[in-house]
């Protein structure tokens, strides 16, 4: 850009208007053809050469300033060049736009661009101030400059004026006057401003390009745009050459070569030229020598010059150097063309034939190397969606087509009636309606209604009397009229009751029912499944027959000897008590040294052992009841500690240690002690009696331990903690382990070591569970009052959810032989239910709640803590928080 600015600016002040646009154009041209830069440099050289020494000095001076100022702009432009080169089309369009009628264009652009306007205004304001100060009488100049800087509206005005009388010398004179009167300083200022404004203009243009896209499109029709550009460039070069020619005879043409530091001819810096008004020089040249002011004649000289010099009208002063410059023919032409609002370039053919950038013809090889996108062949989905919406709306009747709307509107015009009862001709249609009742038919008229009835129908006196008698109750009459005889039909009068009868008929139809409706009445009792009466499901425990008293604190756990002769219980009083079932006698008491949370008798009778969970210890106790031989054998067996070379891992070692009981413990019946690292909440035996599992809910990933009695070894079946484990149970037949966490029950195959099933309880907290002796059904009790019956073959969801208790269920138990299960809860109730499991897989288990036994007393809001069935008899034991165990039979 910097190449062009001085060229054009240095010419004349007159050109300001034009130049402003020209600059714009130039800059744009530059976007378009950055390659031209080199050429321009060359031409520019020429330009410099063509000026005479003084002029060129001045030129250089001013241009330098501009250059300084415009560095930034330059950069911007350069950047833009880079950017724009990639975006040729757009830039192209912009050029087109510029080349077109500038008046309207600019209007549009500037109006739309307020920000730039305001910026400009500021500039112009300054400008105004300056010019006011400096030169009051140069109104026109000011006006001009204002115009230039303000907005293009005034430019238009000016240009209009110019257009009107472009050939008028008056205007030239005025220009001259301006030239003379306006001091250099002010000119300088203006130049500065101009540079600024040009900057802003470029900026403006850049923005405007974006905003004027539609305009551009419109302008695309102009086929000349390309040609115009080219022509323009040529023209410029041509002009330069011409100028060159005109000033070729100046002696200081080759004094210096300013190709490097082009514009530095006047070195006074950025000072207004009017400061030099009092001096006879206007600045300093490169070597520091004064640049002398060009000689200025007085008015007379001027006049003479005007009279004599045929070139006077085309002589202008270079504001920078003060030199007179004679405009060449080409320059004049240019100015004239601009004033006429024609394209400045003469050679530019506005109506050159249109050459498509992209032809409409299908080329054999595509112009662009990427293939057409697939979606260009596909129908628009978006539109399809919209259409389908409309179609749907039409189908649903939400929307109506215009034709329909029309018919509807027409329909609305007339009065509307509701067809009370379709006439007989539509009976066919009505028959389709279920249980339709046709409208009652009127009786056909009989002989009595004839105008000429047989004489026997006519009333005699007696009948008339009767008719009169029934006046109060006319509906009792046989006929509702008196038959009358007329000689001819002509004599028959109008029927007086016609309207009344019609109305009655309408009422009848209106109030009549039109179709038979069958109402389906379902009694709620029918929906309830037929459950057998509890009487038919005997035997089950019905009454309390025994209370085992002896504990001094809550009884937390009970267990029954497999034979059913004894039970063992333990609780908060840290004592294990063994009771005789049939008498309720406490036979033995074993102190366990900890709160007993779980007591389980060994299921296999080969050894007599009870496993007791007392706080962190698990005790294996030989109760010494039952078969003497077995108890003594058990003792013998447990005296020997089996030796094994298997090294116990640290993980297990830190979780549990086996210890042989000695001393008092041994005498009390304790045989083996397992010291756990956390409180043991539950213990359970495997059916064969060699393995037992212990549960420590706080043990995280070591919360379940499986202990082998014969080898005195413990294993940790799980590496990962699946949650707070509540209880575990061994499957009665298969090698499965049921693990109940707070919410779910997981079933693991211990042989394959995989999880087989996960039962979802859908409840907050599982408290206990028991497995049906068949192994296919699991009963789970939860603290949120529910009991869940899971059928393992059925689903992982509960087969049935029983809400029998008012509070959290503490314990659930199945009977081993009878189809019974029981549950105990904090509401003190022990609920015995019938739970029949059929061998037939198609038949679902039958669950019938049978009996609610509520004999325990509440203690600290605890009711029943454990429930267990007698192994053989249909008796159930419940351990209560009221220190007792109760037996129901």
Please tell me whether residue 629 binds another protein under the rule CB under 8 A.
Answer: yes
| 465 vs 585, beta carbon nearer another protein | 585
Pick the piece of the chain touching another protein (CB under 8 A) from 367-375, 521-529, 582-590, 607-615. 582-590
Give me the least distance between CB of 863 and another protein, in Å please: 23
For residue 28 the two structure tokens come to: 């744009």
| 504 vs 582, beta carbon nearer another protein | 582
Give me the least distance between CB of 712 and another protein, in Å please: 28
Selected from 306, 585, 758, 852, the binder of another protein by CB under 8 A is: 585
Give me the least distance between CB of 605 and another protein, in Å please: 11
| 46 CB-near residues (< 8 Å, 6+ apart) | 240, 241, 244
Selected from 259, 380, 582, 654, the binder of another protein by CB under 8 A is: 582
Please tell me whether residue 626 binds another protein under the rule CB under 8 A.
Answer: yes
| 786 vs 886, beta carbon nearer another protein | 886
Please tell me whether residue 667 binds another protein under the rule CB under 8 A.
Answer: no
Give me the least distance between CB of 705 and another protein, in Å please: 33
Please tell me whether residue 732 binds another protein under the rule CB under 8 A.
Answer: no
**Kind plus residue range of the DSSP H or E element containing 218:** helix 213-219
Query: How far is residue 771's CA from residue 686's CA, in Å, rounded to a whole number?
Result: 12
Angle, helix 225-246 to helix 88-99, in steps of 10 degrees? 70
| 221 vs 543, beta carbon nearer another protein | 543
Please give the residues from 540 up to 569 whose contact with another protein meets the rule CB under 8 A: 545-546, 563-565
Give me the least distance between CB of 626 and another protein, in Å please: 6
Pick the piece of the chain touching another protein (CB under 8 A) from 64-72, 241-249, 626-634, 730-738. 626-634
Check residue 359 and report its DSSP letter. -
Strand order in the sheet with 617-621: 596-601, 610-614, 617-621, 670-676, 656-660
Classify 25 as helix, strand or coil: helix
Is the distance from CB of 600 to CB of 567 less than 8 angstroms?
no
Is the distance from CB of 56 to CB of 6 less than 8 angstroms?
no
Is the distance from CB of 146 to CB of 127 less than 8 angstroms?
yes
State the residue for tokens 């305001």: 118
Pick the piece of the chain touching another protein (CB under 8 A) from 66-74, 75-83, 621-629, 636-644. 621-629
Give me the least distance between CB of 872 and another protein, in Å please: 7
| 627 vs 698, beta carbon nearer another protein | 627
Query: How far is residue 52's CA from residue 249's CA, in Å, rounded to a whole number?
Result: 8
Point out which residues pair with 614 in neighbouring strands.
Answer: 596, 617
Point out which residues pair with 408 in neighbouring strands.
Answer: none
Please tell me whether residue 403 binds another protein under the rule CB under 8 A.
Answer: no
Please give the residues from 500 up to 539 whose contact with another protein meets the rule CB under 8 A: 539
DSSP string covering 21-80:
HHHHHHHHHHHH-TTHHHHHHHHHHHHHHHS-HHHHHHHHHHHHHHHHHTHHHHHHHHHH
Query: How far is residue 659's CA from residue 712's CA, in Å, rounded to a whole number?
Result: 9
Is the distance from CB of 882 to CB of 572 less than 8 angstroms?
no
Pick the piece of the chain touching another protein (CB under 8 A) from 239-247, 379-387, 620-628, 738-746. 620-628
Give me the least distance between CB of 721 and another protein, in Å please: 44
| 453 vs 586, beta carbon nearer another protein | 586
Give me the least distance between CB of 820 and another protein, in Å please: 15
For residue 307 the two structure tokens come to: 């009279």
Compute CA 304 distance to the chain's CA centroid, rounded to the nearest angstrom: 85
Pick the piece of the chain touching another protein (CB under 8 A) from 59-67, 400-408, 579-587, 634-642. 579-587
| 51 vs 551, beta carbon nearer another protein | 551
Within 10 A of 492 (CB to CB), how many other CB atoms are there? 12
Give me the least distance between CB of 582 and another protein, in Å please: 7
For residue 261 the two structure tokens come to: 């530091």
| 190 vs 815, beta carbon nearer another protein | 815
Angle, helix 114-134 to helix 139-149, in steps of 10 degrees? 160
| 296 vs 585, beta carbon nearer another protein | 585
| 467 CB-near residues (< 8 Å, 6+ apart) | 459, 477, 482
| 591 vs 626, beta carbon nearer another protein | 626
| 380 vs 583, beta carbon nearer another protein | 583
Pick the piece of the chain touching another protein (CB under 8 A) from 49-57, 401-409, 759-767, 871-879. 871-879
Give me the least distance between CB of 809 and another protein, in Å please: 28
Give me the least distance between CB of 606 and another protein, in Å please: 13
Selected from 122, 277, 628, 843, the binder of another protein by CB under 8 A is: 628
Identify which of 684, 686, 687 has the alpha carbon closest to the alpha carbon of residue 695.
684
Is the distance from CB of 186 to CB of 138 less than 8 angstroms?
yes
For residue 338 the two structure tokens come to: 């601009």
Cα–Cα–Cα angle for 41, 42, 43, nearest 5°?
Answer: 95
| 874 vs 880, beta carbon nearer another protein | 874
Identify which of 583, 624, 617 has the alpha carbon closest to the alpha carbon of residue 597.
617
Pick the piece of the chain touching another protein (CB under 8 A) from 166-174, 338-346, 525-533, 583-591. 583-591
Is the distance from CB of 741 to CB of 726 less than 8 angstroms?
yes
Pick the piece of the chain touching another protein (CB under 8 A) from 86-94, 391-399, 805-813, 869-877. 869-877
Classify 835 as helix, strand or coil: strand
Whole-Å CA distances, 256 to 57, 590, 801: 10, 125, 109
Check residue 862 and report its DSSP letter. B
Selected from 407, 452, 552, 583, the binder of another protein by CB under 8 A is: 583
Instruction: Phi first, then psi: give them for residue 358, nearest 5 degrees.
Output: -120, 120
Give me the least distance between CB of 776 and another protein, in Å please: 26
Query: How far is residue 204's CA from residue 121's CA, in Å, rounded to a whole number?
Result: 13
Give me the least distance between CB of 601 and another protein, in Å please: 15
Give me the least distance between CB of 628 and another protein, in Å please: 6
| 252 vs 873, beta carbon nearer another protein | 873
Please tell me whether residue 639 binds another protein under the rule CB under 8 A.
Answer: no
Give me the least distance between CB of 818 and another protein, in Å please: 12
Classify 632 as helix, strand or coil: helix
Size of the site for another protein (CB under 8 A): 18
| 319 vs 541, beta carbon nearer another protein | 541
| Torsion of the alpha carbons at 635, 639, 641 and 642, rounded to the nearest 10 | -50
Give me the least distance between CB of 581 and another protein, in Å please: 10
Within 10 A of 340 (CB to CB), how many other CB atoms are there? 13
Please tell me whether residue 889 binds another protein under the rule CB under 8 A.
Answer: yes
Compute CA 342 distance to the chain's CA centroid, rounded to the nearest angstrom: 57
3-state secondary structure 714-758: EECCCCCCCCCCCEEEECCCCCEEEEECCCEEEEEECCCCEEEEE
Give me the least distance between CB of 533 and another protein, in Å please: 18
| 385 vs 585, beta carbon nearer another protein | 585
The radius of gyration computed from the CA coordinates of the chain, to the nearest angstrom, equals 58
| 515 vs 565, beta carbon nearer another protein | 565
| 626 vs 849, beta carbon nearer another protein | 626
| 90 vs 872, beta carbon nearer another protein | 872
Give me the least distance between CB of 821 and another protein, in Å please: 21
Contact residues toward another protein (CB under 8 A) are 539, 545-546, 563-565, 582-585, 626-629, 872-873, 875, 889
């Amino acid at each position: 850009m910097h190449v062009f600015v001085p060229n054009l600016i240095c010419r004349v002040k007159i050109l300001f208007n034009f130049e402003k646009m020209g600059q714009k154009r130039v800059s744009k041209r530059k976007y378009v053809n950055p390659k031209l830069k080199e050429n321009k440099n060359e031409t520019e050289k020429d330009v410099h050469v063509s000026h005479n020494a003084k002029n060129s000095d001045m030129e250089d001076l001013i241009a330098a300033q501009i250059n300084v100022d415009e560095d930034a702009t330059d950069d911007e432009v350069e950047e833009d060049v880079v950017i724009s080169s990639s975006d040729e089309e757009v830039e192209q369009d912009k050029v087109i736009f510029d080349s077109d009628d500038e008046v309207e264009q600019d209007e549009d652009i500037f109006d739309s661009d307020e920000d730039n306007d305001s910026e400009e205004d500021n500039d112009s304001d300054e400008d105004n101030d300056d010019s006011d100060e400096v030169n009051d009488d140069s109104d026109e100049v000011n006006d001009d400059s204002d115009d230039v800087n303000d907005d293009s509206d005034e430019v238009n005005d000016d240009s209009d004026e110019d257009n009107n009388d472009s050939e008028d010398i008056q205007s030239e004179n005025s220009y001259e006057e301006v030239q003379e009167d306006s001091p250099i300083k002010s000119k300088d200022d203006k130049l500065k401003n101009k540079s600024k404004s040009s900057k802003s203009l470029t900026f403006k243009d850049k923005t405007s390009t974006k905003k004027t896209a539609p305009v551009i499109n419109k302008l695309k029709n102009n086929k000349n745009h390309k040609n115009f550009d080219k022509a323009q460039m040529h023209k410029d070069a041509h002009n330069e050459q011409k100028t060159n020619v005109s000033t070729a005879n100046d002696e200081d043409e080759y004094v210096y070569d300013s190709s490097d530091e082009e514009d530095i001819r006047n070195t006074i810096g950025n000072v207004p030229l009017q400061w030099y008004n009092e001096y006879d020089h206007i600045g300093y040249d490169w070597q520091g020598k004064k640049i002398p002011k060009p000689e200025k004649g007085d008015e007379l000289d001027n006049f003479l010059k005007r009279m004599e010099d045929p070139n006077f009208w085309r002589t202008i002063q270079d504001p920078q150097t003060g030199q007179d410059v004679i405009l060449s023919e080409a320059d004049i032409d240019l100015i004239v063309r601009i004033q006429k609002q024609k394209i400045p370039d003469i050679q530019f053919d506005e109506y050159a034939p249109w050459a498509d950038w992209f032809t409409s013809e299908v080329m054999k090889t595509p112009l662009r190397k990427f293939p057409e996108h697939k979606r260009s062949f596909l129908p628009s989905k978006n539109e399809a969606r919209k259409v389908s919406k409309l179609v749907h709306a039409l189908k649903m009747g939400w929307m109506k087509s215009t034709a329909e709307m029309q018919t509807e509107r027409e329909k609305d015009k007339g009065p509307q009636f509701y067809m009370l009862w379709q006439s007989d001709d539509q009976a066919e249609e009505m028959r389709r309606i279920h249980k339709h009742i046709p409208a009652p038919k009127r009786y056909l008229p009989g002989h009595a209604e004839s105008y000429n009835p047989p004489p026997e129908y006519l009333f005699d006196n007696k009948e008339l009397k009767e008719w009169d008698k029934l006046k109060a109750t006319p509906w009792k009459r046989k006929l509702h009229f008196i038959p009358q005889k007329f000689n001819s039909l002509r004599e028959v009068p109008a029927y007086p009751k016609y309207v009344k009868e019609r109305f009655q008929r309408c009422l009848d139809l209106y109030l009549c029912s039109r179709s038979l409706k069958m109402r389906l009445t379902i009694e709620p009792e029918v929906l309830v499944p037929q459950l057998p009466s509890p009487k038919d499901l005997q035997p089950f425990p019905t009454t309390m027959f025994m209370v085992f008293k002896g504990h001094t604190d809550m009884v937390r756990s009970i267990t029954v000897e497999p034979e059913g002769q004894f039970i063992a219980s333990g609780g908060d009083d840290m004592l294990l008590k063994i009771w005789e079932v049939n008498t309720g006698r406490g036979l033995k008491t074993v102190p366990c040294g900890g709160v007993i949370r779980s007591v389980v008798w060994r299921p296999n009778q080969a050894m007599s052992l009870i496993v007791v969970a007392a706080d962190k210890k698990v005790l294996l106790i030989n109760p010494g009841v039952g078969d003497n031989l077995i108890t003594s054998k058990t003792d013998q067996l447990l005296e020997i500690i089996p030796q094994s070379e298997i090294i116990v891992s640290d993980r297990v070692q830190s979780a549990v240690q086996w210890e042989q009981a000695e001393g008092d413990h041994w005498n009390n019946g304790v045989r083996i002690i397992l010291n756990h690292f956390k409180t043991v909440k539950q213990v359970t035996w495997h059916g064969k009696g060699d393995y037992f599992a212990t549960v420590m809910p706080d043990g995280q990933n070591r919360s379940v331990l499986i202990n082998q009695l014969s080898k005195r070894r413990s294993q940790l079946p799980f590496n990962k903690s699946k949650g707070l484990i509540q209880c575990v149970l061994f499957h009665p037949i298969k090698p499965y382990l049921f693990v109940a966490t707070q919410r779910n029950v997981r079933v693991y195959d211990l042989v394959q070591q995989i999880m087989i099933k996960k039962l979802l309880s859908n409840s907050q907290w599982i408290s206990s569970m028991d497995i049906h002796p068949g192994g296919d059904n699991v009963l789970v009790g939860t603290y949120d009052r529910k009991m869940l019956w899971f059928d393992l073959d059925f689903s992982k969801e509960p087969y049935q959810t029983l809400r029998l208790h008012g509070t959290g269920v503490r314990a659930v138990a199945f009977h081993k032989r009878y189809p019974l299960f029981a549950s105990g809860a904090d509401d003190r109730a022990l609920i015995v239910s019938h739970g029949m499991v059929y061998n037939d897989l198609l038949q679902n288990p039958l669950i019938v709640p049978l009996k609610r036994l509520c004999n325990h007393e509440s203690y600290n809001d605890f009711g029943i803590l454990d429930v267990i069935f007698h192994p053989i008899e249909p008796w159930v034991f419940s351990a209560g928080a009221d220190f007792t165990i109760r037996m129901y039979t």
